[in-house]
Chain A
Amino acid sequence: MTSLHTSSNSAIKETMLKKALSRIKRSIWVFHLNTGSCNGCDIEVLDVLTPYFDVERFGIKLVASPRHADLALLTGPVTIKTLSKVYKALSAMPRPRFVLAIGSCAVGGNIWFESYSTIGGFPKALEIFSEMGLEIDGVMYVPGCPARPEAIIYGAATLLGLQKPKSKYRRLKA
């Protein structure tokens, strides 16, 4: 009886999540999460939120708490010190939760990818989070050092499904 109850519960949860995913596209609230960035990408993120680029065209709005956010604008290579705080902030976000990893630090660790004090980018943090049971519904990686405001808008637009990603793995013969 209890197992039946939980299975129907999870099914309801899944349908709710699907509904939320379809509705979220026109009004996505973002939370700015700095994980040890040099502030280059953070300045570009602020640039995106100015009237010049005006991301409120897509319904994107900056909020002060992860509890109100659908999308985390994650910058920086995720240092060891910030890892627990990143976990706390991301687990405070309601489902469906998305992450936009901005800058080459967040994507691949940049020049700190093998440093003792960082874990080397968000993909490695994602492995740790999935081991700990934190589910993230979508991640978009935006390379750039710092990422251009246009690149961040492009990343957000790809996440919302307005654009198709161009990058593809290529293996060429010399």
Chain B
Amino acid sequence: MVKFLKILPIATKTGTVTIKYPYQEPLVTESFRGAIEVDPAKCVGCGACTRICPPKALTLTLEGNTMILKYFVGRCIFCGMCADTCPEKAISVTKEFELATGNVFDLYTDIEHEVKTCSICGKSFISKKLGDKVASKVSDIPSETMDLCPDCRRKEALKRFIGALE
């Protein structure tokens, strides 16, 4: 009948296990991955992260004359693959997980990029920063080809090729 009393010494030995969160620091280990942080100073807008992102939480869209890298935390699965693949090391994985909000639009982060337009057709194709980056890394590209969109560049190359044949 008093069999259950044997729990009492065990309970007194263990004490209280309940944690006091949110009035206490959360248990976050070293390997924990939370929301990502994009450094706008380092980001060039190449879009490598948008291609690797499994749920497409990172997207690159063109809105008029600005290119926008949109990060939606609500869709992020916190895999950290974007941080691994970023060529500029602009993305870092933080330990932030207290992201709850009553409005979905608070979960978006936008990064604006200035866009480069084609000197012939006027179409915008890459961000200005990415163009500068490529120009600084590869020295033997003539500047007039750098200002062309891929379609116009192809046409110009063909024109030059035909001109050389004649």
Interaction A to B: yes
Q: Could you list which residues of chain A lie within 8 angstroms of chain B, going by C-beta atoms?
A: 51-54, 57, 104, 107-111, 113, 121, 123, 138-145, 148, 150-151, 153-155, 157-159, 162-163, 165-174
Encoded as 1 (CB less than 8 Å from any A CB) or 0, chain B from 96 to 138 comes to 0111111111111111111000000000000101000000000
A162 surroundings in chain B (CB, below 8 A): 22
Q: Classify the secondary structure of B's interface with A.
A: loop
- The CA of A104 and the CA of B77, in the complex, are separated in Å by 7
- The CA of A139 and the CA of B110, in the complex, are separated in Å by 23
A139 surroundings in chain B (CB, below 8 A): 102
Tell me how far the C-beta of A113 lies from the nearest C-beta in chain B, rounded to whole angstroms.
6
B76 in complex: contacting residue of A53, A140, A143, A151, CB < 8 Å: A143
B142 surroundings in chain A (CB, below 8 A): none
Q: Check if A110 sits within 8 Å of B75, measured CB to CB.
A: yes
Q: Check if B100 sits within 8 Å of A140, measured CB to CB.
A: yes
Q: Check if B18 sits within 8 Å of A141, measured CB to CB.
A: no
A-B contact pairs, 18 of them (CB 8 A): A109-B55, A111-B77, A140-B102, A141-B102, A141-B103, A143-B73, A143-B99, A151-B97, A151-B98, A157-B22, A165-B100, A167-B107, A168-B106, A169-B108, A170-B109, A171-B112, A172-B111, A174-B40
Asked whether B165 is an interface residue with its Cβ less than 8 Å from the other chain, the reply is: no
